[in-house]
């Protein structure tokens, strides 16, 4: 029901290319307690790494000076506002909600929001992506609130390398968070690793072994141009094909077919292994093998902007309508119009590519 008491239209969120949006990523904060190389490379170690890479590649591109300005609290959407947008999106056919950040567990009482979203009729999948550092303090409350799946970002199993990649000595806390998620019986526990040439690509096989030993789905993600210092270079990308070749050289893998054409990961499991996603390996290769043609995702930033692609150069404001006199029907109409204009693809690697102003931490993964 809308604010005015009318029933929202049941028409779906369809873009001009025929793609139907089923997945909404909801960022709840732009703040993060890590400074990862591929997102917020603000440590001296990160700067040294990139300078060394530039020198070796004879690339004159300087590191961009970072002016960090976090959004003030009053500019972030309230839980009530987030719930309202999600409810409207679900009425238009969205089925999957993922809570993201920044680091979502930095948002106070985030388990309350999870509970609100879990109670919305029509939400079939409620997940969260976290760096895991604080997960142990919130895990039971999140599970009780209705969180079904959790994905952890963990790019290295070596404490020193982990610190170099994240700017924080926190591997122990992340590993403990993963173990807690397994113990509590979340429907799905995944670990995501962004692979960067020259820093953690030597750990590809070790990360796979970590997943196999624990029955955890391991996901490898290509390094994308979403960092705050504009330091990304194509030469630092370890392609999905290279990752797969390395894994197949170590393990006897068989492809896992999926009925979901919009799935971002290509997946494999050990030959003779059991079914289900536990212990699977997946590769997400948006740079070298884009999956834009089947994309069914939109994103909402913590300050209430809708983005139709990670690499969108424009955003669409919902906060003004949410805090004004806008009705649910008006919000639904706006969402339909925004989705209709969704880009056909990103342009990474093309001459006209322009990196978006917001980093991954401000967009939401």
Residue 11: its pLDDT value, please? 72
Question: Residues 103, 133: contact at Cβ < 8 Å?
Answer: yes
Which is nearest to 308 in space by CA: 296, 299, 321? 299
Rounded distance between C-alpha atoms, residue 265 and residue 249, angstroms: 20
The pLDDT of 312-323, averaged and rounded, is: 90
Question: Residues 157, 191: contact at Cβ < 8 Å?
Answer: no
pLDDT for residue 313 is more than 60: yes
pLDDT > 70 fraction of the chain, expressed in percent and rounded: 82
Burial class (CB in 10 A: 0-12, 13-18, 19+), 202: middle
pLDDT for residue 66 is more than 70: no
Q: Model confidence over 227-263: pLDDT tens digits? A: 666 677 888 899 999 999 999 999 999 999 887 777 8
Residue 360: its pLDDT value, please? 62
pLDDT for residue 2 is more than 50: no
- Residue 8 φ/ψ, nearest 5 degrees: -70, 150
Q: Which domains does the chain have, with CATH numbers?
A: 23-363 (3.20.20.70)
Question: Using the 8-state DSSP alphabet, how is residue 266 labeled?
Answer: E
Number of Cα atoms under 13 Å in the Cβ half of residue 233: 20
Q: Model confidence over 123-168: pLDDT tens digits? A: 999 999 999 999 999 999 999 999 999 999 999 999 999 999 999 9
Residue 9: its pLDDT value, please? 44
Q: Which of 39-48, 228-237, 299-308, 315-324 has the lowest mean pLDDT?
A: 39-48
Which is nearest to 77 in space by CA: 317, 310, 336, 342? 317
pLDDT > 90 fraction of the chain, expressed in percent and rounded: 65
4 against 133, higher pLDDT: 133
pLDDT for residue 206 is more than 70: yes
Which is nearest to 201 in space by CA: 170, 230, 165? 165
The pLDDT of 82-96, averaged and rounded, is: 98
77 against 361, higher pLDDT: 77
pLDDT for residue 1 is more than 60: no
Residue 166 host element (H or E): helix 159-166
By DSSP bridging, strand 305-307 and strand 188-195 are: unpaired
Which is nearest to 78 in space by CA: 24, 127, 116? 116
Residue 39: its pLDDT value, please? 80
Following DSSP, what letter does each residue of 206-264 receive, concatenated?
A: HHHHHHHHHT-EEEEEE--S--TT----GGGB--HHHHHHHHHHHS-EEEE--S-TT--
Q: Model confidence over 25-52: pLDDT tens digits? A: 999 999 999 988 888 766 767 666 666 7
11 against 85, higher pLDDT: 85
- By three-state DSSP, how is residue 92 classified? coil
291 against 24, higher pLDDT: 24
By DSSP bridging, strand 297-300 and strand 305-307 are: antiparallel
Residue 233: its pLDDT value, please? 80
Chain mean pLDDT for the chain: 87
Binned at pLDDT 50, 70 and 90, residue 191 comes out as very high
Q: Which of 70-74, 129-133, 333-337, 340-344 has the lowest mean pLDDT?
A: 70-74
């Amino acid at each position: 029901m809308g604010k005015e008491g009318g029933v929202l239209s049941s028409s779906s969120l369809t873009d001009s290319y025929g793609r139907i949006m089923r997945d909404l990523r909801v960022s709840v904060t732009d703040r993060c307690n890590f400074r990862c190389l591929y997102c917020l490379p603000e440590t001296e170690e990160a700067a040294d790494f990139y300078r060394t890479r530039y020198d070796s590649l004879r690339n004159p591109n300087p590191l961009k000076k970072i002016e960090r300005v976090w959004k003030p609290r009053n500019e972030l959407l309230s839980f009530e506002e987030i719930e309202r947008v999600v409810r409207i999106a679900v009425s238009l056919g969205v089925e999957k909600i993922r809570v993201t950040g920044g680091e979502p567990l930095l948002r106070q009482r985030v388990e309350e929001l999870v509970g609100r979203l879990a109670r919305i009729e029509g939400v079939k999948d409620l997940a969260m992506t976290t760096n895991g550092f604080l997960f142990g303090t919130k895990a039971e409350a999140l599970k009780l609130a209705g969180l079904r799946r959790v994905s952890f970002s963990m790019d290295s199993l070596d404490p020193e390398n982990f610190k170099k990649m994240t700017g924080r000595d926190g591997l122990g806390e992340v590993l403990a968070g993963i173990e807690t998620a397994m113990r509590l019986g979340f429907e799905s526990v995944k670990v995501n690793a962004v692979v960067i040439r020259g820093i953690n690509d030597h750990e590809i096989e070790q990360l796979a072994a970590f997943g196999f030993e624990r029955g955890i789905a391991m996901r490898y993600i290509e390094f994308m141009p979403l960092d705050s210092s504009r330091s990304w270079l194509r030469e630092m990308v370890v392609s999905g094909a290279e990752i797969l070749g390395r894994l197949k050289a170590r393990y006897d893998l068989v492809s896992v077919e999926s009925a979901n054409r919009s799935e971002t990961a290509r997946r494999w499991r050990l030959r003779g292994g059991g079914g289900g996603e536990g212990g699977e390996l997946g590769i997400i290769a948006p740079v070298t093998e884009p999956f834009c043609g089947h994309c069914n995702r939109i994103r909402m930033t913590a300050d209430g902007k809708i983005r139709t692609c990670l690499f969108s150069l424009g955003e669409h404001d919902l906060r003004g309508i949410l805090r004004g006199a806008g009705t649910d029907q008006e919000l639904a109409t706006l969402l339909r119009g925004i989705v209709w204009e969704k880009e056909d693809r990103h342009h990474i690697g093309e001459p006209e590519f322009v990196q978006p102003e917001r980093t991954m931490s401000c967009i939401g993964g």
